[in-house]
Structure 1
């Protein structure tokens, strides 16, 4: 079989499968569970890089494959999936569609740029990345679940806020600023926040 098969990409594939299942749930109007699977994809993506870097005997081809497969999966998990989900949640008006198109194009530009710069960086140094340029694409997997669990409280304002969040995140994907890469403590805090959002989403799914 073609490709490279080792444990360094397991979480990346789990993230992809989670998002694909989330898309199926979305088109069948199971939004609460769809948001749950988006958050699961985000949690997987937060740690797949750490697992990959822990594997010290990777060849150069395996490293390059890892970069490419991560971005290919990300464009589905955090590009296409959120677009479908947000469209079904209410961004089906002309302005919403335009915002979603901008978000989609920005996500592809960001990932393409990341691939180029990351390959170049790995050729120059073996040290871990300390900063991202622009907002990481995985941020949608934190922002959207947290926003969704406030839906019942926001009521009609939810759709307005959803539009604002999507266009803001899309623009920040391609804005040239330094975003400090989270440390383990910060990642742990993010996991806790998203876990709370997951718990609420799961709870509301069963009581409504």
Structure 2
């Protein structure tokens, strides 16, 4: 389940304020933090020139992003405070996983060409705008997303790297740049995208495992 769905509009009782450690020990939030760790490792890999490893970690960030929502839906005794905190934490980590990490991958693959900075900024900005918009309006009629949900950024970029061999080494960075701009447009567009069922997580996990085996061996 896409973790953007875990955002809650219910009001929180601030008279019984919980400590931050109580929220950290909440199982769905622990899963969300694993997504942040995956994104951090992806950023480190990209900075050190291990682009394929960075792409793999980006996909695992997607896995944890969907998994935390699934875990949250199975827990029956979570308070409104836990749901609200989880939604805020999820948004902040999505910024890193699906905004900052793709931007660093783009910059690193271009050997930090300054002409690629606008594209890198654009995907971070689009991620921030998309998440802020969703936090206000949520799903349209409870069924569809307005614009491409940001967790698909990592999946689309990873799929593009699977067809890298069809491009020359001189052209692929520019092709990746164009792809990022297309993703930016889709993130902030008004297109309606259906909400996928929870069972799609199984396919994402299988894809992440297969991608890991494939790209790590390149």
Q: Shared fold by TM > 0.5?
A: yes
How many residues align? The count is 196
Q: Does 1:146 align with 2:159?
A: yes
> 1:195 matched to which residue of 2?
209
C-alpha distance in 2, partners of 1:29/1:203?
A: 15
1:132 positional shift:
1.5
C-alpha distance in 2, partners of 1:144/1:70?
A: 21
Distance 1:202 1:55, change over 3 A: same
> 1:132 matched to which residue of 2?
145
User: SS at 1:183's partner residue?
Assistant: coil
- What is the aligned counterpart of 2:183 among 169, 173, 189? 169
1:197 positional shift:
2.3
C-alpha distance in 1, partners of 2:118/2:44?
A: 23
Contact 1:146 1:197 in 2 (8 A): no
CA-based RMSD: 2.2
C-alpha distance in 2, partners of 1:7/1:186?
A: 21
- What is the aligned counterpart of 1:67 among 87, 98, 116? 87
Structure 1, unaligned stretches of length 5 or more? Answer: none
> 2:195 matched to which residue of 1?
181
1:37 positional shift:
1.1
Contact 2:102 2:123 in 1 (8 A): no
Any runs of at least 4 consecutive aligned residues in structure 1 with deviations exceeding 6 A, and if so which?
none
C-alpha distance in 1, partners of 2:199/2:86?
A: 25
1:94 positional shift:
5.1
- What is the aligned counterpart of 1:102 among 122, 125, 150? 122
Q: Structure 1 or 2: larger helix share?
A: 1
TM-score (norm 1): 0.84
Structure 2, unaligned stretches of length 5 or more? Answer: 1-18
Q: Does 1:115 align with 2:129?
A: no
C-alpha distance in 1, partners of 2:203/2:37?
A: 25
C-alpha distance in 2, partners of 1:158/1:131?
A: 33
Contact 2:147 2:193 in 1 (8 A): yes
User: SS at 2:145's partner residue?
Assistant: strand
Contact 2:43 2:101 in 1 (8 A): yes
Per-residue displacement from partner, 1:11-64 (whole Å, max 9, x unpaired)?
A: 211010111122122222122222211111111112211111221211111111
> 1:42 matched to which residue of 2?
62
1:10 positional shift:
2.0
Q: Does 1:2 align with 2:16?
A: no
Contact 2:63 2:201 in 1 (8 A): no
